[in-house]
Amino acid sequence: MSAASLGLWTVPIAVLGGAIRVSTPFLFVSLGELVTEKSGRINLGLEGTLIMGAMSGFGVAYLTGSPWLGVLAAGMVGVIFGALHAAICSLPRVNDIAVGIALMIFGIGLAFYLGKPLVQPRAPTLPALPLGFWSDIPQVRAALQVNALFIVGLVFTPVLSWALANTRWGLIVRMVGDSSEAARALGYSPIRVRLYATCFGGFMAGVGGSFLSLYYPGSWNEGLSSGQGITAVALVIFARWNPVACFGASLLFGGAGALGPALQAVGVTSGTYLLNAAPYFLTLLILVLSSSSRRRVAGAPGELSVTK
């Protein structure tokens, strides 16, 4: 089959490539948020963390010439934001949702402020693996140029799933999330466990943000994020707090985002915005169907404020 005769096949191939690309930030942010929510806290500020990660990752990669140092720096900035969220939430009478919105505004503002000088320069980008080497069709090769961070996320998903179910740490996080009183009775401090879980969530969101500025679209500007940080919070609920389902949901959400541009390439131009909003609609539908006024969402951590 030659490239010219692909015809409508260009759409699924482009969607596959696009889904891998678009899903990577979703995957990282949602795996991080999953751990935070498993500990019984929700961090709505990840949009701010994501944009801070994008800015700082780009800045460090630009200054040092190493994209991986940029990823690390983005993660560390995320840890700082996570620690800030956890610290404020550990005070009495403080609502974790409101703190999230506050940190979202703060993170976006700070990133735009500090990122002003970074709008022009180019930074080294993250490598991609040519997994389409077996094909001579350029579209297939392009679609299977899989970025390195996606592979990291792909490997990390089952590890996290196993660790949450089988390790001591996973057990502690889940126990704190299901009943902080039980955790306290066993001598664990819920505040400290949630601090670590929120820092981890921040780290992952920062890394997810660095993907935006260091791989795709691969530069820093103020319109970089289209709300991936907020969508990822919904995605965790959509995936019912299951890491493997998070991976699938990220691909699905990414595919929905990639469908619009892919259709545009074959001449269908309407409906892009609605396709991008499809994940929100699906999440809402799942919430409506799986909740009830009498019991909580199946699979939700017991201490989580948004499902109480």
For position 299 contacting other proteins by CB under 8 A, the verdict is: no
Contacts with other proteins, 47-66, as mask; x by CB under 8 A: -x------------------
Beta carbon of residue 49, minimum distance to other proteins (angstroms, whole number): 12
Q: Which of 233, 239, 245, 256 binds other proteins (CB under 8 A)?
A: 233
For position 134 contacting other proteins by CB under 8 A, the verdict is: no
- Please identify, using beta-carbon distances, which residue of 169 and 280 lies nearer to other proteins: 280
Q: Return the residues of window 187-226 that contact other proteins according to CB under 8 A.
A: none
Element (H, E) at 128: strand 128-130
Residues 188 and 81: their CA atoms lie apart, in Å, by: 23
For position 268 contacting other proteins by CB under 8 A, the verdict is: no
Residues 125 and 67: their CA atoms lie apart, in Å, by: 6
User: Residue 31: which of 187, 211, 180, 217 has the closest Cα?
Assistant: 211
For position 160 contacting other proteins by CB under 8 A, the verdict is: no
Residues 42 and 38: their CA atoms lie apart, in Å, by: 9
Contacts with other proteins, 247-266, as mask; x by CB under 8 A: --------------------
Q: Which two tokens stand for residue 33?
A: 């948020």
Site residue total, other proteins (CB under 8 A)? 53
Element (H, E) at 15: helix 10-38
Q: Which of 31, 74, 99, 123 binds other proteins (CB under 8 A)?
A: 99
- Please identify, using beta-carbon distances, which residue of 94 and 159 lies nearer to other proteins: 94
User: Residue 52: which of 163, 208, 172, 169 has the closest Cα?
Assistant: 208
- Please identify, using beta-carbon distances, which residue of 61 and 111 lies nearer to other proteins: 111
User: Residue 258: which of 216, 288, 298 has the closest Cα?
Assistant: 216
For position 155 contacting other proteins by CB under 8 A, the verdict is: no
Q: Which residues of 16-33 are buried (b: 16+ CB within 10 A; e: fewer)?
A: bbbbbbbbbbbbbbbbbb
Beta carbon of residue 245, minimum distance to other proteins (angstroms, whole number): 17
Element (H, E) at 55: helix 46-64
Q: Tokens 């939700």 map to which residue?
A: 300
Residue 145's DSSP bridge partners are: 130
Q: Which of 94, 131, 202, 253 binds other proteins (CB under 8 A)?
A: 94
Positive or negative: CA dihedral 200, 222, 279, 105: positive
For position 287 contacting other proteins by CB under 8 A, the verdict is: yes
Q: Which two tokens stand for residue 60?
A: 């460090």
For position 169 contacting other proteins by CB under 8 A, the verdict is: no
DSSP per-residue string spanning 71-100? HHHHHHHHHHHHHHHHHHHTSTT--HHHHH
**Where does this chain touch other proteins (CB under 8 A) — which range of 16-24, 145-153, 213-221, 275-283?**
275-283
Q: Which of 4, 8, 91, 155 binds other proteins (CB under 8 A)?
A: 91
Q: Which of 227, 244, 265, 268 binds other proteins (CB under 8 A)?
A: 227
Element (H, E) at 33: helix 10-38
Binding site for other proteins (CB under 8 A): 44, 48, 84, 88, 91-95, 97-99, 101-103, 105-113, 116, 227, 230-231, 233-234, 237, 270-274, 276-277, 280-281, 283-284, 287-288, 291-296, 306-308
